[in-house]
Amino acid sequence: MLQVQDLHAYYGKSHILQGVDMHIDAGEVVSLLGRNGVGRSTTVKAIMGEVPPHGTIKFKGENIAGLPSYRIAHLGLGYVPEHRDIFPGLTVRQNLMLGIKDTRRAGKWRLEDMLECNRKVLESVEPSCRGSVDEVSRIIGRVVIEEGASIVRSTVRGPAIIGRGTRIVDSYIGPFTSIYHDCLIDSTELEHSIVLEATTITGVSRIEDSLIGKEVEVSPSTAMPRAHRLMLGDHSKVSLA
């Protein structure tokens, strides 16, 4: 299924991979072992096109060396990088479910696909609170409040998850909402949505069925409709009219 021959890769002038060979058959589970710095991550990145490869890489008989990462992914080869952009309050299985797309549905990920995965994960969460909730706020149903998160003069109705370091002030957070870490939601109604890390939403009457990327700023204008449905990429800055 996956065949790698004489694979070389470089970071600048540093020759990291020097003639890696690998053959993995369908159904095999293979571990690549070694001490830090020997090139385990670089091997995977070179296969996935995140580092320029030199050599032969074939997946299901097709040469993928040099293809962009998105085309390799569309062929069915996936890469799960090691980083901390997860919900610590969810189990490993629940975090993985967030990335599962219904294989019976062809084509690219749609907003509806992501919201449906989010809904399925949140249906199985167990309530927990490792953050702070003031005495006037209300927590209703299955809600996960992660470490360092704070709920101030707000209502959170589960199932929902509030990521670490996130601050909810004078707001309503409705069911099936996942808010990642270090966000600020102020004077806003938010429901059935996904909000990625370090995003600020202030003074918006209502947001629903939305996906909002990381480090986004959303603020109102003087004239607002009753509700907004948004899909915003990372680092956006939006004033709603």
> Which residue, 82, 114, 146, sits at the end of a domain?
82
Any domain includes 70: yes
> Considering only CA atoms, which of 154, 194, 163 is closest in space to residue 176?
194
Any domain includes 111: no
> Which residue, 82, 106, 136, sits at the end of a domain?
82
Same domain, 76 and 177: no
Any domain includes 112: no
CATH number at residue 159: 2.160.10.10
Residue type for position 90: L
Q: What would the two tokens of residue 86 be?
A: 């997860």
Locate all alpha helices (DSSP H) within 51-135, ordered by sequence.
69-74, 92-97, 111-122
Any domain includes 223: yes
Any domain includes 99: no
Same domain, 145 and 228: yes
Res 118: pLDDT: 86
Please identify every stretch of the chain with a pLDDT value under 70, giving residue numbers as ranges: 82-109, 221-229, 231-236, 238-241
Any domain includes 34: yes
Contact present, 170 and 152 (Cβ < 8 Å): yes
Number of domains composing the chain: 2
Res 157: pLDDT: 96
Res 149: pLDDT: 96
Domain range holding 14?
Answer: 1-82
Res 58: pLDDT: 93
Res 137: pLDDT: 97
Distance, in Å, from the CA atom of 97 to the CA atom of 209, rounded to the nearest integer, reads 19
Same domain, 236 and 139: yes
Distance, in Å, from the CA atom of 37 to the CA atom of 17, rounded to the nearest integer, reads 11
> Considering only CA atoms, which of 93, 209, 175, 186 is closest in space to residue 161?
175
Any domain includes 114: no
Residue 77 CB partners (closer than 8 Å, separation 6+): 2, 47, 48, 59, 64
Same domain, 160 and 70: no
